[in-house]
């Protein structure tokens, strides 16, 4: 039986700026994306019978076309019919609807896996061009590592690996819809924008402290007033010695960057012991040299 095990890793945004709202309702963004080593586990199995099945350890997740992993498999199997089907087993560890692109990353892993299992011979670039049909973050999740994302997130420029950091992720028990966040953002009235170009420069120079000092996410102007717990978690991280702490994507997960493992462990323990966050993880930046681990 042909089968493949894959890791679908989460992402955080080291910087997130919104330039403008477009005519089509989307926003033009500038973001610095970073993969972290928190991952969902997928097993893909080729079946004799055609058709796609998804089974997951998370009962609340749909197992049909609404699941992004399913959609990714469907996209390639329809374009390259083989007469066979695919069984997807998905073990979720990345919190859902958290600003960590868990669903997008599952989809990206399925694209990469189906390409390999069925011998489709598509290049990474060819997979990325198809990936955008599933979601704006999916091409980046195929690419992984450190990248500048522009447009709606699909125009990607690879950057050198960001300087190594220990990362604590903490998701408060609130539900923040991405549509609510963008719907309530006043892109034309933002008083401050993160300096994404300076942060790119800091990454190119391997300047970890400066990279962390330049962190900024304009979506916090919507989420922090609505959910003060986000700022409270940030404060705990900073008190525990984080170089920087901020919400990822449209939230509500907050991440802290640490230069030393001990400080990160301390923050992790503090947050685990408290009641601000339900899901707390200790991880690190993924460096693209380990990309064989997908």
Q: Are 148 and 196 in contact (CB under 8 A)?
A: yes
At closest approach, how far in Å is the CB of 178 from ligand ATP?
Answer: 5
Residue 106 known to be catalytic: no
Q: How far is CA 119 from the centre of its chain?
A: 27
At closest approach, how far in Å is the CB of 29 from ligand ATP?
Answer: 12
β-pairing verdict for 85-91 and 52-56: parallel
Binding site for ligand ATP (CB under 6 A): 61, 66-69, 96-104, 106, 137, 178, 249-250
Q: In terms of CB distance, is 28 or 213 closer to ligand ATP?
A: 28
At closest approach, how far in Å is the CB of 62 from ligand ATP?
Answer: 6
Tell me the two tokens of residue 224. 């922090």
Residue 173 DSSP SS3: coil
Q: Which residues pair with 157 in a beta bridge?
A: 148
Cα distance between residue 207 and residue 184, in whole Å: 34
Question: Catalytic pick from 106, 137, 263, 279?
Answer: 137
Task: Return phi, psi of residue 69, to 5°.
Answer: -65, -40
Q: In terms of CB distance, is 202 or 246 closer to ligand ATP?
A: 246
Cα distance between residue 254 and residue 232, in whole Å: 10
State the CB neighbour count (10 A cutoff) for residue 115: 20
At closest approach, how far in Å is the CB of 252 from ligand ATP?
Answer: 9
Q: In terms of CB distance, is 163 or 217 closer to ligand ATP?
A: 217
Give the CA radius of gyration of the chain: 19
Q: In terms of CB distance, is 69 or 240 closer to ligand ATP?
A: 69
Residue 137 known to be catalytic: yes
At closest approach, how far in Å is the CB of 212 from ligand ATP?
Answer: 21
- Determine the residue with CB nearest ligand ATP: 103
Q: In terms of CB distance, is 155 or 210 closer to ligand ATP?
A: 155
153's torsion region: left (phi>0), alpha (psi -120 to 50) or beta? Answer: left
β-pairing verdict for 279-284 and 155-158: unpaired
For residue 139, give every residue at least 6 positions away whose Cβ sits within 8 Å of its Cβ, in sequence order, or none. Answer: 108, 128, 129, 131, 132, 154, 156
User: Which residues are identified as catalytic?
Assistant: 11, 137
């Amino acid at each position: 039986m042909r089968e493949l095990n894959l890791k679908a890793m989460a992402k955080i945004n080291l910087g997130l700026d919104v330039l403008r709202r477009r005519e089509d309702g989307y926003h033009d963004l500038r973001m610095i994306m970073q993969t972290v080593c928190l991952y969902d586990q997928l097993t893909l199995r080729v079946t004799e019978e055609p058709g796609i099945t998804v089974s997951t350890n998370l009962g609340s997740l749909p197992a049909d076309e609404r699941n992004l992993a399913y959609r990714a498999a469907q996209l390639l199997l329809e374009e390259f019919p083989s007469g066979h089907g695919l069984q997807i087993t998905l073990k979720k560890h990345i919190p859902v609807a958290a600003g960590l692109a868990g669903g997008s990353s599952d989809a990206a892993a399925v694209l990469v896996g189906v390409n390999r299992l069925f011998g489709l011979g598509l290049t990474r670039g060819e997979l990325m061009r198809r990936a955008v049909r599933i979601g704006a973050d999916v091409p980046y999740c195929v690419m992984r590592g450190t990248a500048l994302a522009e447009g709606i997130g699909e125009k990607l420029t690879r950057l050198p690996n960001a300087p190594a950091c220990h990362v604590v992720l903490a998701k408060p028990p609130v539900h923040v819809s991405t549509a609510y966040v963008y719907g309530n953002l006043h892109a034309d009235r933002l008083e401050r924008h993160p300096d994404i170009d300076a942060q790119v420069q800091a990454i190119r120079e391997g300047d970890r402290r400066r990279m962390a000092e330049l962190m900024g996410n304009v979506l916090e102007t919507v989420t922090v007033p609505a959910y003060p717990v986000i700022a409270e978690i940030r404060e705990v991280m900073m008190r525990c010695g984080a170089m920087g702490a901020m919400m990822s994507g449209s939230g509500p997960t907050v991440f802290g960057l640490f230069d030393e493992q001990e400080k990160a462990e301390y923050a992790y323990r503090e947050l685990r012991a408290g009641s601000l966050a339900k899901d707390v993880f200790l991880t690190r930046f993924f460096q693209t040299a380990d990309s064989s681990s997908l």
